[in-house]
Amino acid sequence: MTNVKAPCTWAQRKDRLFVTIELKDTKNLNVTFAEDKISFSVEGVRAGAESAKYETELELFGKINPEESYYRATDQKVEIVGMKKESGPHWDKLLTQPMKLTKAWLTTNWSLYVEEEDEEEEGNKGVEGFGGYGNKSNLLTTQVDSDDEGGVDDRPGDIADIMSDN
């Protein structure tokens, strides 16, 4: 099977990345985090297309903390939050690859975008609810149906402290 990239959007804050996989009716989702990459495979429906299997490896421009990163799937999309290893300036780009190699499947999420110098003023504009942001009960879930906001935590450990500084 060929490695088909899922359509994604992204934005960032000083301490985290937001990646949205733009697929509906997702099944068989597998997301893994490493310091320098986020990998996922998923079956889903792309706008205007049939259901297909997608595999994507995001080789990150900087480093993240895999233990603090999480994701949430709904019927409409998959939301991934990668917690940066070090809070600080915005990264110049998400991936190590040149943009000309990713522009067919990766774009900026303008609804979450905030200029770095405006981040203090804008705060969490647009990120309420993203990947469970602000709602600790939905963090680290593997599948959340649109009519069932509970979700199931299948990762070990106490997640209550992940967002404690927000």
Chain segment 86-138, per-residue pLDDT in tens:
999 999 999 999 999 999 999 999 998 888 888 877 666 556 556 555 444 44
Any residues with CB less than 8 A from the CB of 159 and at least 6 apart, and which?
70, 136, 139, 140, 153
What's the whole-number mean pLDDT along residues 134-154? 42
Within 10 angstroms of residue 24's Cβ, the number of other Cβ atoms is 13
Helix (H) or strand (E) segment spanning residue 120:
helix 119-122
Please count the CA atoms within 13 angstroms of the CA of 97 that sit on its side-chain side.
12
Checking if the pLDDT of 163 tops 60, the result is no
CB 84 within 8 A of CB 14: yes
Chain segment 21-64, per-residue pLDDT in tens:
999 999 999 999 999 999 999 999 998 888 999 999 999 999 99
Checking if the pLDDT of 81 tops 70, the result is yes
